[in-house]
Amino acid sequence: MTHRRTTGRRAAVAGTGVAALLAAGFTFQTANAAEATPTAAPHTLTAPKAEKLAATLAGHLGKEAAGTYYDAKAEHLVVNVTSEKAARTARAAGARARVVQHTLAELKSARSAVAEQTTAIPGTAWGVDPVSNKVVVTADRTVKGAKLARLTAAVEKLGSKATLKQSKGEFKPFISGGDAINGSGGRCSLGFNVTVGGAPAFLTAGHCTEAIDNWTDADGNALGSNAASEFPGNDFGLVKYSSSVSHPSEVDLYNGSSQQITGAADAQVGQTVTRSGSTTGVHDGEVTGLDQTVNYGGGDIVEGLIQTTVCAEPGDSGGSLFAGSSAVGLTSGGSGDCSSGGETFFQPVTEALAATGAQIG
Based on the domain organization, do 211 and 322 belong to the same domain?
yes
Residue 140 lies in a domain: yes
Total of domains in the chain: 3
Highest mean pLDDT among 10-14, 35-39, 352-356: 352-356
Amino acid making up residue 136: V
Under the banding of pLDDT at 50, 70 and 90, the label for residue 301 is very high
DSSP class of residue 256 equals: S
Based on the domain organization, do 71 and 206 belong to the same domain?
no
Query: Is 170 buried (19+), middle (13-18) or exposed (0-12) by CB count in 10 A?
Result: buried
**Residue 72 pLDDT > 70, yes or no?**
yes
Cross-sheet strand order for the sheet of 96-99 = 65-71, 76-81, 96-99
Q: What is the CATH number of the domain that holds 255?
A: 2.40.10.10
Based on the domain organization, do 345 and 218 belong to the same domain?
yes
In DSSP terms, which residues pair with 327 in a beta bridge?
264, 322
Could you tell me the CA-to-CA distances from 50 to 132, 278, 292, 339, 360 in Å, in that order?
19, 31, 21, 32, 22
- The least confident of 99-108, 128-137, 299-308, 314-323 is 314-323
Based on the domain organization, do 308 and 227 belong to the same domain?
yes
Alpha-carbon distance of 235 to 209, in angstroms, equals: 9
Q: What is the CATH number of the domain that holds 119?
A: 3.30.300.50
- Domain hosting residue 111, numbered range: 104-166
Under the banding of pLDDT at 50, 70 and 90, the label for residue 157 is very high
- Residues assigned a catalytic role: 207, 235, 317
**Residue 3 pLDDT > 70, yes or no?**
no
Cross-sheet strand order for the sheet of 359-360 = 186-190, 179-183, 214-216, 222-230, 236-241, 199-204, 192-196, 359-360
**What's the chain's average pLDDT?**
83
Alpha-carbon distance of 131 to 138, in angstroms, equals: 16
Could you tell me the CA-to-CA distances from 47 to 74, 176, 245, 333 in Å, in that order?
11, 28, 34, 24
Residue 174 lies in a domain: no
Under the banding of pLDDT at 50, 70 and 90, the label for residue 9 is very low
Handedness of CA 285, 287, 289, 293 (dihedral sign): positive
Alpha-carbon distance of 121 to 225, in angstroms, equals: 35
Under the banding of pLDDT at 50, 70 and 90, the label for residue 167 is confident
Residue 24 lies in a domain: no
